[in-house]
């Protein structure tokens, strides 16, 4: 998976039902990743080494029918010391960006874009222990607990960590989020980049499709986040789509897994160039999710952002030239996918 890039619940059932069913209709969360907040190292200078999206960009995607923005950021910048307080300036930048996104009527998926690491220390390894990861999420949850339209994505693409060990870290974070009183929807990835194509394969320490069934949420208000690209090795690093058919099959496979296990899913990253095979594959993936909205909560395309180069094949950031074919397809799919979502589970009186 690319190292620079790289929901939800239609919970309108009664709050006393422990596992609310999805309402009828197509996936309600359709959006994009607005990349930029994850750029640079921990000490990077805002506006020089990294950036958050402008209101102009946010407004553009709102007008195109998007209903969610996945917002990447760096854990180390937001929490400069493990178990320490969050950085006031960085937190305010994120809050300001969220305010703009909500102003334009879209939900926000918070995305610590760290690949399962703090600096270069893997989650679950001292000092980035499960407890430290849980502490981070407790602090973040307090800031955004029960705010309408804000979803929590535990971590972008954990990798090189055993599935069983990642499950322990994820469950620790979920416990801390709920202990903080936050009823926000939580998106839980697997290890091995959370790839849809490998979801049921034993890549490292067990298959995500088996091990991650051990997720424990006291509110039962979570979904699984998977990623899938259409190039030959599912990495999202090639402009052509020799892997388009395999990607379509991968999404179909996860769809079957979700149905079989009575779970919900969100496609947090996917993307491709305007190549004919790529566009065909994207169209089929949209159709699979739209036809299975009982388990698919939505999707967010990778990617856009002010600093993305114009020649980046996956880029859908508006520029001086004509609108990208991928963006036209995204907009058409967004219009077809109608429905409303709840990002916060109702409290039980």
Please give the positions annotated as active site.
157, 269
Question: CA geometry: angle at 342 spanning 250 and 195, to 5°?
Answer: 20
Q: How far is CA 141 from the centre of its chain?
A: 16
CB 112 within 8 A of CB 153: yes
Of 133, 284, 158, the C-alpha closest to 225 is 158
Radius of gyration of the chain (CA): 18
Q: What distance in Å separates the CA atoms of residue 63 and residue 259, rounded to the nearest whole number?
A: 33
Question: CA geometry: angle at 133 spanning 130 and 135, to 5°?
Answer: 110
Tokens, residue 254 = 């996860």
Tokens, residue 170 = 């994820």
Tokens, residue 134 = 């849980």
Strand partners, 184: 344
Q: What distance in Å separates the CA atoms of residue 318 and residue 310, rounded to the nearest whole number?
A: 9
Tell me how far CA of residue 39 lies from CA of 4, 74, 268, in angstroms: 7, 8, 18
């Amino acid at each position: 998976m690319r190292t620079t890039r790289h929901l939800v619940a239609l919970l309108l059932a009664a709050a006393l039902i422990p596992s609310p069913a999805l309402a009828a209709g197509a996936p309600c969360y359709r959006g994009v990743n607005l990349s930029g907040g994850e750029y640079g190292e921990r000490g990077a200078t805002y506006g020089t080494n990294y950036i958050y999206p402008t209101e102009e960009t946010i407004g553009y995607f709102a007008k195109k029918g998007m209903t969610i923005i996945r917002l990447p950021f760096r854990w180390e910048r937001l929490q400069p010391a493990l178990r320490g307080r969050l950085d006031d300036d960085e937190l305010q930048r994120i809050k300001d960006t969220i305010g703009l996104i909500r102003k334009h009527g879209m939900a926000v998926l918070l995305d610590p874009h760290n690949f399962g690491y703090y600096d270069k220390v893997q989650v679950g390894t001292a000092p980035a222990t499960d407890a430290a990861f849980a502490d981070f999420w407790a602090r973040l949850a307090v800031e955004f607990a029960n705010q309408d339209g804000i979803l929590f994505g535990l971590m972008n693409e954990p990798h090189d960590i055993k599935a069983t060990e990642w499950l322990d870290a994820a469950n620790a974070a979920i416990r801390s989020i709920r202990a903080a009183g936050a009823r926000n929807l939580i998106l839980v990835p697997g290890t091995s980049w959370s790839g849809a194509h490998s979801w049921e394969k034993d890549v490292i320490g067990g298959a995500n499709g088996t091990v991650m069934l051990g997720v424990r949420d006291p509110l039962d208000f979570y979904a699984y986040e998977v990623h899938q690209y259409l190039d030959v090795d599912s990495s999202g690093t090639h402009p052509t789509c020799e892997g388009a058919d395999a990607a379509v099959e991968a999404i179909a496979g996860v769809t079957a897994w979700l149905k079989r296990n009575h779970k919900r899913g969100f496609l947090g990253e996917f993307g491709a160039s305007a190549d004919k095979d790529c566009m065909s594959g994207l169209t089929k993936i949209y159709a699979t999710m739209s036809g299975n909205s009982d388990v698919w909560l939505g999707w967010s395309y990778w990617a856009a952002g002010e600093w993305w180069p114009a020649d980046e094949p996956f880029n859908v950031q508006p520029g001086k030239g004509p609108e990208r074919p991928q963006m036209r397809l995204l907009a058409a799919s967004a219009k077809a996918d109608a429905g409303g979502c709840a990002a916060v589970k109702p409290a039980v009186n």
